[in-house]
Structure 1
Amino acid sequence: MTFVQLEYLVALDTYRHFATAAENCFVTQPTLSMQIQKLEDELGVKLFDRSKQPVVPTEIGEAVIRQARILLREALKTREIVDEHRGIVAGEIRVGIIPTLAPYLLPLFLANFIQKYPHVKVKIKELTTENLLAKLNKDLIDVGIVATPLHDERVFEEPLFYEEFVAYVSEDEAAYQKEFLLSEDIDLSRLWLLEEGHCFRGQILNICELRKQNPANRNFEYESGSIETLKRMVESYGGVTILPELSLTDLSETQLQQVRQFHSPKPIREVSLVTLRHHLRRGPIEAMKSEILAVIPEKMKQPHQRKLVELG
């Protein structure tokens, strides 16, 4: 049994396709297949059911793969120990971030991070929370930046900051005339929402208590994957949408006049770094955490007397 064989084993479990696994391991498919076969022969068990497409691990294969992931992670820790001893922050860090954070948080810290840590290669993917967790648990990403709590025992959450929700209101809405809003001030039949799959959508449903109500039908409905698009819909067609606090930094003076805060306790979301509990690549992750906290206003680093909104 070799580490190379274990790497191929984990890759095949991750991608469930011999050609794709081989491509990501930078070897030919016959090479990967041969090494998997050798490992099975050595162990005396079948690790994958090749009769199914995509291929799936056998029951004993799942147990072996879990152990293989542990062994590979422990091997990687050896390099981290050496780098930490030398005071070096280096290596690759694969980051998943939810779409309602990416366009507002990344520009605040990413350029400084890349300049300050030139030996760190950063790969970033925008992912919904569900997909982010799936990739995290398959070791396809190292860390996620998401809204929490996730109530997932597989991951470790490190809260970064607490971001208020605000309403973005058309001048034609009754809510526009108010300085501070209650959830009942929002006309639910004129509320623009993100499409299914976004945790931000679930939080908005909770803020507006939409799960308990049946909003009146309207003759035009639109669900978007982009907060920026929802802002444009309010500006073009009227109505209301809900924005995260960091998105306000890009608004013009005219647009800021359409922003309304909620009454206290103001609804907030908790934003955290999430990792698997074995804490790989701690050097780059801690460096990223420090750079994020350096650009976040102090008032956002504690929940104070505000209301944390669950993901739904």
Structure 2
Amino acid sequence: MNLAGLSLRDLEYVSAVAEHRHFGRAAAACGVSQPTLSGQLRKLEEFLSLEIFERSPRGVLVTARGEEVVAQARRILSEARRLFEVVRTGAEPLTGVVRLGVISTLGPYLVPFLLRPLRARFPRLRLLLIEGNTRPLIRQLEQGELDAVLAAGPLGESDLAELPLFREELALAVPRDHALAQVDEVRPGDIPASELILLSEGHCLRDQALAFCPDRLREGDHVLQAASLESLRQMIAAGSGVSLFPQLAIQVGALLDDMVAYRRIAGGAFGRDVALFHRPSFGRIRDIRMLRQAIGEILAEQSAVRVHRPGIRLAS
């Protein structure tokens, strides 16, 4: 088979259709017309003598053998992007574009601390921030669509390199008129599992809340859910229940302070370890390590944080 019949653009079309499961949305993501994308994919399938996608009026499905093609296409695209990473490695550090994913329960509360100092330190750095849930961001990182991801670890089974940054305590957020709002600290056994509000499926903080009351609350139990931390804060303010809250979100979100009380959990063992993750093969590892160092230094300069080896720990 002649490789001249295969192009990286074709592989980008394959990856986009597999991701969006829709030819129109995939074409828009690739910046081409739908007939152009559809026609080129037909030619590719004929070239490979293989049906990659199953087309029907109800949508697009990836065939069993097509899944293998999609996976290999993404690996090839990832390696192709490394060509540009290698070229940039010898350039001035932290210049150009860095595509950084940040989990949604961290981004709105951490990024405001970072943007101005990072711009002052690295004026030629163009930081593209992509917010989302952990699993989709990690998948994008593994496929080469992101350069690094700020997330709570550990990730479990993963080949990604992890650069620890800081440990963020989790506190219990309760309505101001709740009985637990009258105490300085709460013990894990004091927390009413029946009142616990969870974030929706896909948030790592949901898993931590479930792990918090393993004997009294299990996945599948009927509980209230919130789509975001701010929705969760509003539900607590309205008296709908209680939940765990990261410390950075407590510091930034002062608007409902007269309606929500935050109580430390005795023992200080409940928190999440935030780290910067990257592919071990990434061609700009020096830049990612410099970014990690800069983030750590910026957080340490804030009055709310203190240095805690090997990373940064939020002060109580």
Q: Per the shorter chain, which TM-score range?
A: 0.7 to 0.9
Residue of structure 2 in register with 1:166 after alignment: 171
How far off its partner does 1:106 sit? 0.9
How far off its partner does 1:283 sit? 5.7
Which piece of structure 1 moves more, 152-161 or 278-287? 278-287
Asked if structure 2 preserves the Cα contact closer than 8 Å seen for 1:167 and 1:261, the reply is yes
Asked if structure 2 preserves the Cα contact closer than 8 Å seen for 1:90 and 1:283, the reply is no
How far off its partner does 1:107 sit? 0.5
- Counterpart of 1:89 in 2: which secondary structure? coil
Equivalent-residue separation in structure 2 for 1:134 and 1:76 (angstroms): 16
1:2 to 7, 10, 13: 7
Asked if structure 2 preserves the Cα contact closer than 8 Å seen for 1:144 and 1:274, the reply is yes
Letter of the 1:243 counterpart: F
Residue of structure 1 in register with 2:98 after alignment: 93
Residue of structure 1 in register with 2:50 after alignment: 46
Structure 1: give runs of 5+ residues left out of the alignment.
216-220, 306-312
Asked if structure 2 preserves the Cα contact closer than 8 Å seen for 1:14 and 1:138, the reply is no
Equivalences for residues 263-278 of structure 1 within 5 A:
263-278=266-281
TM-score (norm 2): 0.75
Matched, 1:126 2:131: yes
| Percent of aligned pairs sharing the same letter | 31
Residue of structure 1 in register with 2:225 after alignment: 223
- Counterpart of 1:153 in 2: which secondary structure? coil
Residues 185 and 79 of structure 1, relative CA distance in 2, 3 Å threshold: same
Equivalent-residue separation in structure 1 for 2:29 and 2:96 (angstroms): 18
Residues 253 and 137 of structure 1, relative CA distance in 2, 3 Å threshold: closer
Structure 2: give runs of 5+ residues left out of the alignment.
1-5, 300-304
Equivalences for residues 105-124 of structure 1 within 5 A:
105-124=110-129
Equivalent-residue separation in structure 1 for 2:203 and 2:277 (angstroms): 17
Residues 304 and 124 of structure 1, relative CA distance in 2, 3 Å threshold: closer
Letter of the 2:85 counterpart: E
CA deviations 1:17-74 (Å, max 9, x no partner) are: 333333222223333334334444444x225134345434444443344333333322
Matched, 1:241 2:259: no
CA deviations 1:146-190 (Å, max 9, x no partner) are: 222121335443322111111234454443343332111223344
TM-score (norm 1): 0.76
Letter of the 2:239 counterpart: Y
- Counterpart of 1:123 in 2: which secondary structure? strand
Which piece of structure 1 moves more, 264-273 or 7-16? 7-16
1:151 to 136, 139, 156: 156
**RMSD value over aligned CA atoms?**
3.6
Residue of structure 2 in register with 1:203 after alignment: 208
CA deviations 1:90-128 (Å, max 9, x no partner) are: 443333322221221111112333454444443333322
Residues 54 and 291 of structure 1, relative CA distance in 2, 3 Å threshold: farther
Residues 183 and 88 of structure 1, relative CA distance in 2, 3 Å threshold: closer
Residue correspondences, number: 297
Letter of the 1:46 counterpart: L
Residue of structure 2 in register with 1:26 after alignment: 31
Q: Following TM superposition, where does structure 1 have runs of at least 4 consecutive aligned residues deviating by more than 6 angstroms?
A: none
2:291 to 274, 288, 292: 288
Residues 304 and 294 of structure 1, relative CA distance in 2, 3 Å threshold: closer
Asked if structure 2 preserves the Cα contact closer than 8 Å seen for 1:91 and 1:284, the reply is no
How far off its partner does 1:204 sit? 2.0
Which piece of structure 1 moves more, 16-25 or 103-112? 16-25
Letter of the 1:279 counterpart: F
Equivalent-residue separation in structure 1 for 2:184 and 2:195 (angstroms): 19
Letter of the 1:241 counterpart: S
